[in-house]
Amino acid sequence: MIKKYEVLNNVQKAGIVAVVRGNSADDAYKTSVACVKGGVKAIEVAFTAPHADQTIAKLTEKYADDDSVIIGAGTVLEPVSARLALMAGAEFVVSPSFNKEVAKMCNLYGVSYMAGCFTPREAQIAMEYGVDVVKIFPAALVGAKAISEFKGPFPQMSIMPTGGVSLDNLSTWFDAGAFVVGVGGQLVGPAKTGDYDQVTENAKKFHEAFAKLNA
């Protein structure tokens, strides 16, 4: 199997992608480790965090022997950040909106690109440029019904709702056909006060809830 499809398969198995921002490189690193410790093993380190590429490199090294842990980059807005992420070892790249040059960069290096889209036109253009997963963002504004509406004209589309996913509505998103979900504050919020143990507890709850959906 081609590497990027192995990664996509592992991301789908993980079910939950932790969106990690952090106010420092150390904070982002500790938050990511806390998520993995709790069972959420797909990590999206956002480029809003200082030195995100260094955090990605550090996490990639830490989990080099654990194929179940997938480290990616988030909030990648342009190709320079994309290349920094890829050189640091990011296994997937996520953007809040679609960028053609980022798509080309990811295609060049054989890495999955997950791009934010909000309209059918945006989604179609993204898929034409090889986007593997369409990120519906912010998902809270459209609700789970948006997945079936998108899949009407685009049945082949893999969708990752992000923004508004919680433990309470997790099953709703997957019942609607989500490929995977992205979770930020509901999962990693306690890291803002340095409570990484609570991040781990939140991760356990999300992991267990996802596992029950697939039992």
Rounded Cα gap, residues 197 and 45, in angstroms: 19
Of the candidates 13, 33, 35, the one whose C-alpha atom is nearest the C-alpha of residue 183 is 35
Residue 146 phi/psi, 5-degree rounding, is -60, -30
Residue 44 is a catalytic residue: yes
Indicate the SS3 state at residue 77: coil
Residue 135 is a catalytic residue: yes
Annotated catalytic residue, options 4, 41, 58, 135: 135
Annotated catalytic residue, options 4, 44, 58, 91: 44
Q: 113 with 132: CB under 8 angstroms? A: yes
Indicate the SS3 state at residue 161: strand
Of the candidates 103, 88, 110, the one whose C-alpha atom is nearest the C-alpha of residue 135 is 103
Angle of CA points 78, 119, 18, to nearest 5°: 55
Tokens linked to 141: 């504004």
Catalytic residues: 44, 135
